[in-house]
Amino acid sequence: MGHSHAMIERNILTRGGNMAHNSESAIKAALLANGVIMLMKLVAAVMSGSASMMAEFKHSLGDWANGFFLLIGIRQARRPVDDKYQFGHGKRVFFWSFVASLGMLFIGGALSIYGGMQKIIHPEHLEYVGLNLGIIGFSILFEIYSMTMAVKAIMHEVGETATGLRMFLKVIPALARATPATRFIFLEDSAALIGLLLAGGAITLSVVTGNVLFDGLASILIGILLLIIALATAKENVAAILGEAADPALIQEMGNFVLSLDGVKDVHSVRSMCIGPNSYLVELVIEANENTCLSECDLINERVTSQVKEKFKEFVHVHVSIISDDKKRDWVCQAPATD
């Protein structure tokens, strides 16, 4: 049993390392894309005086800085378990993802809204429109590259095998199971593509109508979009840092499985806590026959612990307590809810 337990632990660590590698690859691709895009947008914004293009530069600057924060989090999360951090360093990913969301909130969102308002209050004629639109076109290509890398990483993390367009269709349902860093990159890229389309449309309308109000409004809309994404990701990361429970459907499935194991009369209670990306500590209280001896309880404990870890890779730490059967049915077996 000890050998089996060690094998399970190694499999869990290998899986976590693979997920971290996928996230790191997506982040490096985003850093490269955002670095190039940021410089192009800065040149275009300074030369043309476009508020929406300046908002896009701030957006890319925030994305570029956030990439480093996420990279720090992934690498720190790999640190081995020690006496001080007995459940590992997995939550560091959530902390640095939270810092990244604050960067998007203030650097990307707030400054873009401010720049748009300034453009509306103090309008200036746009110049080098062709250059702006050309840079927006190139930026879209770079963002598509970065997003494709993020989508591939998400598909790999959740075990999906879709490719091509089907991969993009499946990514939204898969986001909930992706690591925070990879999910954040995907959301950043989505916001960037929407922002680029808004900026391109606004610049075109401003030139066609002769009214730079559209340019200022686009900057404000880009800022609002970034605020919404930043607040949503910040809220999600705070919940993970505080140790939110595993998905109820996953808990239900696991409880049903435990109830089917030999020696388990009932599942009295289950508690879980997030300790890292897709990693949970779970505390199981199960009921056994009141005449079960201590040595048999030890066998039941080992059986439940090893089989739960083997079947449910999300439960990295499983703690099982056994109490006497209270003759009441505590666990209700039901099919996990599906979307």
Give residue 14's pLDDT: 43
- Cα–Cα distance, 221 to 226 (Å, whole number): 9
21/235: higher pLDDT = 235
- Vertex 158, ends 152 and 159: CA angle to 5°? 85
Q: Which band of pLDDT confidence, cut at 50, 70 and 90, is reported for residue 309?
A: very high
Range scoring the smallest mean pLDDT among 5-9, 13-17, 219-223: 5-9
Q: Kindly report the backbone phi and psi dihedral angles of residue 8, in degrees, each rounded to the nearest multiple of 5, phi listed first.
A: -60, -45
Predicted local confidence at residue 319, as pLDDT = 95
> Which pLDDT tens digit goes with each residue over 63-94?
787 778 878 888 888 888 888 988 889 898 88
Share of the chain above pLDDT 70, in %: 92
Distance between CA 46 and CA 66 in Å, rounded? Answer: 23
pLDDT at 279: 87
Burial class of residue 181 in the structure, from the number of CB atoms within 10 Å of its CB (0-12 exposed, 13-18 middle, 19+ buried): buried
Each residue's pLDDT tens digit, 260-296: 999 999 999 999 999 987 789 999 999 999 888 989 9
Structural domains of the chain, ranges and CATH numbers in brackets: 2-241 (1.20.1510.10), 248-324 (3.30.70.1350)
* Comparison of pLDDT for 19 and 244, the residue scoring more: 244
d(CA 11, CA 90): 16
pLDDT tens digit string along 178-205? 777 778 788 878 888 888 888 888 888 8
The residue to which tokens 């040595």 are assigned: 295
Mean pLDDT, to the nearest integer, of 130-150?
86
19: pLDDT confidence band, cut at 50, 70 and 90?
A: low
- pLDDT at position 6 is 41
pLDDT value at 332 more than 90 = no
Query: Which percentage of the chain shows pLDDT scores above 90?
Result: 20
* ∠ Cα 147 141 182 (to 5°): 10
